[in-house]
Structure 1
Amino acid sequence: MTENKQHPMEKLKEQLLYILNVIPPGSNIYYLDYPFHTNIGDLLIYKGSEKFFENNNIKVQARYSVFNFPKDLSIPKNHIIVFHGGGNFGDLWVSHQRFRESIISEYPNHRIVILPQTVYFKDNNNYIKAKKLFSKHSDLHIYARDKRSLKQLKGFSKNIYLSPDMAHELWPITPPTPSQKKNLYLLRTDKEVNKKNRFKTQKNQNVVDWNDLVTKKDSKKVQEIKKEYKNKGVSNAESWYKFSDYLINKAISLFSTHNKVITTRLHGHILACLLDKKNILYDNSYGKNNQYYRTWTHNVNKSKFIK
């Protein structure tokens, strides 16, 4: 008899359970900075986080994004403040960093947890300022998404940990349709583009970025939901939760119809892994993808990183 080996993706999902040392089962939390936009990668992190809370009896009492957090809100002392993870820790995506800094300053006596993040500062002065502010908080817990980020976070808090991305909680995702086409190219087109990457795509191959999955009708719907939330002060995000499911299912359907995914997006790689699909990952502008692959997904058999 041959022993069944545990799938590397299952191991990565199990790694997330260490977060329960800081957010114990049964905790009441405020979930802040969840993504209210159409980037599928951030939405996968969002869904993984919500599933993690649900699977471990973590009670989300309120949810606020960076755009609808009330200025006059008072978070109860016995509630843990939990920040969404991702790749916006630093000075590249400024509004999210400023939001974190304002909450850390405003709530010095609450436990604050930042779910797995990649760290990147272009300006060392911004790095020094952030470290000074963060280090003053006595109960701040930060999860780094790769080993380089863990090293950079030294001095930000006494409570620094290494963890995979929250999207791994979604393992496994069953493809809804069989593969029909050869390769899907998911190539980023935003400020994290790596100009060194060169791709020779064939006529029959699909080349997209996340925003290509979002129609004008979808964008209009997002604005309608934002208006609803801002006017009514809604904190539990039910309509957004459903609509973001719809957007993610679009991506899952697209990935499912291809045999292989070639991508410069970290969550293009992670979604392919969640679907147990062959994929090739190239780097973004500042080495985020390389660092993540080296730290976590290099053991996933169907994945490959190309410098």
Structure 2
Amino acid sequence: MTYMNAASTFAIKLLEPITSAVAQSLFQETLIPLSSLISLPLIIYGSLLFTGSPLGGIEISLGTLLAFMSNIILAARNIAILTEHKRNSGSRLRNWQGGFLYVVSALFALDIAERTGVVPKFTALLVLLLVGSGLFHVMYSYISTHIILKTMTVLNHSILNICKRLLVVILLYAVGRRRASCRNWLGLVMCSVGLVVHVLNKFTKRDDKMEQVSNKRKGLVNTIKYYMIALLLFGSITIAPISYVNRPVIVFNYTLHNPTYLEMKAYDKYSPLLQSSHEIIKEAQRIHYDLFTELLKPYKNVMLFDIALHENKGDSAITMGEMMLLQRLNKTLIYYCDFDRCRDLQDALSIVKDYSPQNLAIVLQGGGNLVGWTANDILREKLLNAFRGFQFFLFPQGIFMFGGENHLKYCENLYRRETNLTMILRDRNTMRLARKHFAGQPKLIMAPDMAFQIGPVRRFIKPFYDILWIRRRDLEKIDDQIPSLPADLQIRIEDWLSWPTTQSNIDMENFYLMAYNGLTFLQRGRVVITDRLHGHILSTLLDIPHVILNNKWNKVSNYHNTWTKGLRNTRVANNGSHAIELARQLLIEYSDVLPDKVPFMTVNDLINSDHPFW
């Protein structure tokens, strides 16, 4: 599963009976019964339909080969064990009494050590979970190899494994967030018919030589029961101190045919609980990968419109993340344009003639310009009309209400009627506004900002200031005064719009340069204060402790509360004075890990005409 997604692995594992039947026929020199030739296709195809794990989307890869190899290895293992059983019917667990006493004694000793402070808190719980997991797997393996394989063939064992997997899916349908369609239930019926055909044949050929479990083995099973009871009693004592902790809701299912997929509650619960920047980045990338794998699965080629080629470094970082994701998804980018170039669609319309809606998707730049920046909505309308019949996907966007009532009505009429549009919103508040104003034909989904696709970035320059304060100077700025600054701290206050990037004559190179220039800009401070959302996001990528201030439409706090609320090296300030106070606390708290400033920054302060802050 390191090399492919879980659904594809599950689908390949459902083919296990075919591998087992062929292996059994080859190595045990037995013919595959006619009933099996009839029942196996029904069982396997029905299982694939019921679990929603089609084989059509699986590509030949290292993960695919490894998954099929695991089926072959399992069949070979079972045949070897079955052959050994025929030679030697005796098998037992040796010296289990001594092991039982040793484990229980060690657990109680560990619990005492934890209570006296000799070992860290929760050590006993972790060891208990490891022991319990190990015991479960030993019992499972013993029952599977020494009891079940003595009473059935390798083929029957593999079919039993399918039943076990179907039971898991049934439980997900019954108590989880998954919902079964008519197609899923049809698959279950088909699988059931196959099982009936397979089982009825076994009643006519019942093997009279099936061995019964001995009394000694029954006694061993009872002893293991007592062992489990002892572990549970010990566990109830160990787990009690942390019983107040709420379990996080973690949902990894991103299948579009599932109606609950479009509900934000299904997949935004885990990220706010994460505390480190690496965990938050990894979770955002996982959501992106799973989501866009499903959304863009039918399309090999994409066109990307309205990329960022301007000095707002956050928008350039979004474009950089989008490009990196498309590369990871193995998509072919056949055309892209920035806002100015996109207004002339002649080149794009000429290229699109060689493609069809079945192999080309139209992707629109993410960011925070939905409704608030009227020109971008007007461009999106132009694109929607120019490429009718193609599927449109809007990378994660934020809504801020600045365009006025008339433009809001314009956006409502534009977006809510588009059947071929999937709108991805980047925070809960934006999702709420989208449901209010755009509910209708488009799909509405929530996902993190695309800049997280850049991944973790190590600091590559030493800081120049104690605090770098990135402060907006555009229409989204907050109207507050800069507070008096403490004399013992070097503070630079600046907006990255005024931090120019050296550019080339190649657009693709330029937005990468702008994004990296934004990363350079932030590293000038040991800690950062920001009222820009991407000051927060890029500081997270750099793992720089930072303080966030809201802008006029709460863009930063809305995103923070949705995805990054648990980030331990981030603070939320009410105003500028509070932000400086919190930044000072971060300097003290992270003094051991923050890099030192470059030396001699204060030399010639009185001679230089430029003040270190504006």
> Are 1:46 and 2:316 an aligned pair?
no
Alpha-carbon spacing, 1:121–1:77, altered in 2? closer, same or farther (3 Å): farther
Shift, 1:297, TM fit: 1.2
- Partner residue, 1:172: 456
Match 1:77 to one of 351, 356, 365: 356
Q: 1:175·1:275 contact (CA, 8 Å) conserved in 2?
A: yes
Report the more deviating stretch, 57-66 or 117-126: 117-126
> Are 1:32 and 2:305 an aligned pair?
yes
Alpha-carbon spacing, 1:177–1:118, altered in 2? closer, same or farther (3 Å): same
Alpha-carbon spacing, 1:156–1:198, altered in 2? closer, same or farther (3 Å): farther
Map 1:227-306 to 2 at 5 A. Answer: 239-306=506-573
Greater Rg, structure 1 or structure 2? Answer: 2
> Are 1:93 and 2:373 an aligned pair?
yes
Report the more deviating stretch, 109-118 or 193-202: 193-202
Task: For CA contacts below 8 A with separation 6 or more, give which structure has more relative contact order.
Answer: 1
CA distance in 2, matches of 1:42, 1:265: 11
> Are 1:23 and 2:300 an aligned pair?
no
Report the more deviating stretch, 35-44 or 255-264: 255-264
Q: 1:26·1:59 contact (CA, 8 Å) conserved in 2?
A: no
Match 1:128 to one of 409, 429, 440: 409
1:8-29 Cα deviation digits (max 9, x unpaired): 2221221212122212286211
CA distance in 2, matches of 1:200, 1:263: 17
1:187-218 Cα deviation digits (max 9, x unpaired): 01001111146544346211111122116xx4
SS at structure 2 position matched to 1:174: coil
What TM-score, normalized to structure 2?
A: 0.44
SS at structure 1 position matched to 2:345: coil
SS at structure 1 position matched to 2:379: helix
Alpha-carbon spacing, 1:196–1:54, altered in 2? closer, same or farther (3 Å): same
> Are 1:137 and 2:409 an aligned pair?
no
Sequence identity (%) = 20
Which one has the bigger helix percentage? 2
- Partner residue, 1:194: 478
Letter in 2 for 1:58: K
Letter in 1 for 2:356: K
CA distance in 2, matches of 1:8, 1:259: 21
- How many residue pairs were aligned? 287
Letter in 2 for 1:153: A
SS at structure 1 position matched to 2:315: helix
- Partner residue, 1:236: none
CA distance in 1, matches of 2:538, 2:393: 25
CA distance in 1, matches of 2:485, 2:471: 12
Report the more deviating stretch, 247-256 or 45-54: 247-256
- Partner residue, 1:235: none
- Partner residue, 2:499: 213
Letter in 2 for 1:68: R
Alpha-carbon spacing, 1:190–1:137, altered in 2? closer, same or farther (3 Å): same
Report the more deviating stretch, 196-205 or 118-127: 196-205
Structure 1: runs of 5+ lacking an equivalent: 226-238
CA distance in 2, matches of 1:105, 1:197: 45
CA distance in 2, matches of 1:118, 1:197: 27
> Are 1:57 and 2:301 an aligned pair?
no
Shift, 1:304, TM fit: 1.8
Report the more deviating stretch, 37-46 or 253-262: 253-262
Structure 2: runs of 5+ lacking an equivalent: 1-122, 128-275, 575-614
SS at structure 1 position matched to 2:479: coil
Report the more deviating stretch, 182-191 or 64-73: 64-73
Q: 2:427·2:448 contact (CA, 8 Å) conserved in 1?
A: yes
CA distance in 2, matches of 1:265, 1:147: 18
Alpha-carbon spacing, 1:15–1:196, altered in 2? closer, same or farther (3 Å): farther
SS at structure 2 position matched to 1:248: helix
Q: 2:470·2:495 contact (CA, 8 Å) conserved in 1?
A: yes
Q: 1:282·1:289 contact (CA, 8 Å) conserved in 2?
A: yes
Match 2:281 to one of 9, 18, 38: 9
CA distance in 2, matches of 1:288, 1:148: 9
> Are 1:103 and 2:383 an aligned pair?
yes
Letter in 1 for 2:309: F
Q: 1:109·1:138 contact (CA, 8 Å) conserved in 2?
A: no
